[in-house]
Amino acid sequence: MKVYALVGESGTGKSTSVLHFCDEHNIPAIIDDGILIVNGKKIAGTSAKYENNYIKAVKRATFFYDDHREEVANVIRMTALDKILIVGTSVKMVNLIADKLKLGKIDTYIDVSEIRTSKEINMARYMRNTQGKHVIPIPYMQVEHNRLKKILQKGKKLFSKQAKYIGEETIIQPHFTKGTITINEDVYKEIITHTCKKIKYVKNAKILDYDFTTFQSVTIEIELNCPLEQNIVELLKKVQQKVNEAMFSYFKIEMYAVHIRLAAISPDR
């Protein structure tokens, strides 16, 4: 059996990406947060997300408990698997899991940055820090609801590029979450308009449209007060750049698109 490992810090979106990665590389089995998933369904183990504190969650994820370790190891031995992928927050963690489950040496390590963009990783971190959302890459019906603090929502069904069903996600909030941070959308608006108005020649700025849920885009109406010889296109590109920089500086968010609508120009004489 060939053993793979997907490594990345907590909250970088490993569990969101793992089903697609495994489908693309024909890997049928996943070890993620204490559970064994085969072909998109949980077949053994108990999720670390069910634990009521962080220390127990880490122990569960690394198969510290004898009964849990033996259950999963026995199912792996009885299942004809040619490949398996271990998900963990560090190389040390995935090596420990491979050793605990007697899987042998890991053949290939993959960093989450190799399969997710910086925008996707930063968005995953932001959602984890502000909303406490965690993803379990198993169907909603397989989640033990009574063992969780809160089921946030059913995740989407996932399909391959060939429209083949490869599994489902469930989005939860476990007991051991540190809590959530709520940021009113007016805060984002104030930061964006303030950033625009600080730029030379920008007379006024107003938010016309926005998506501050997934941070796909924001549309800003701009009024300029500048000399006629000023390069308008370059100036508006600078506005886009400064807005992106401000959102990243304050929230570690990379906007997917910053749309600028030029409403008026007052020649500066």
Task: Give the number of residues written for the chain.
Answer: 269
- Across the chain, mean pLDDT equals 91
Q: What is the three-class DSSP state of 190?
A: helix
pLDDT in tens, 29-40: 999 999 999 999
Alpha carbon of residue 192 to chain centroid: 24
Residue 153 burial by CB count (10 A; 0-12/13-18/19+): exposed, middle or buried?
exposed
b/e map of 87-98 (b: 16 or more CB within 10 Å)?
A: bbbeeebbbbbb
pLDDT for residue 120: 87
In this predicted structure, the answer to whether residue 269 has a pLDDT above a threshold of 80 is: no
Listed range (61-70, 167-176, 221-230) with the worst mean pLDDT: 167-176
Mean pLDDT (whole number) for 181-191? 90
Mean pLDDT (whole number) for 167-195? 86
Domain parsing of the chain, residue ranges: 2-173, 185-267
pLDDT in tens, 63-122: 999 999 999 999 999 998 999 999 999 999 999 999 999 999 999 999 999 999 888 888
- How far is the C-alpha of 50 from the C-alpha of 34, rounded, in Å? 10
DSSP one-letter string for 3-58: EEEEE--TTSSHHHHHHHHHHHTT--EEEETTEEEETTEEEEE--GGGSSSHHHHH
- How far is the C-alpha of 134 from the C-alpha of 180, rounded, in Å? 12
The edge-to-edge listing of strands for the beta sheet with 29-32 is 41-45, 35-38, 29-32, 83-88, 2-7, 108-111
In the chain, helix, strand, coil percent, each to 5?
40, 30, 30
In this predicted structure, the answer to whether residue 184 has a pLDDT above a threshold of 70 is: yes
In this predicted structure, the answer to whether residue 175 has a pLDDT above a threshold of 70 is: yes
Please enumerate in sequence order all residues whose Cβ is within 8 A of that of 163, keeping only pairs 6 or more positions apart, or say none: none
Name the more confident of 208 and 182.
208
Q: What is the three-class DSSP state of 84?
A: strand
The span from the first CA to the last CA of the chain, in angstroms, equals: 75
Please enumerate in sequence order all residues whose Cβ is within 8 A of that of 160, keeping only pairs 6 or more positions apart, or say none: 20, 23, 24, 166
Q: What is the three-class DSSP state of 65?
A: coil
pTM across the whole model: 0.74
Distances (CA, A) of 268 to 54, 227, 260, 261: 60, 5, 21, 20
Of 3.30.300.90, 1.20.58.220, 3.20.20.70, 1.10.10.10, which CATH number belongs to 185-267?
3.30.300.90
Token output for 27: 């890997």
pLDDT in tens, 115-172: 998 888 888 888 887 878 888 898 888 888 777 777 878 888 888 888 888 889 888 8
Neighbours of 67 (CB within 10 A): 8
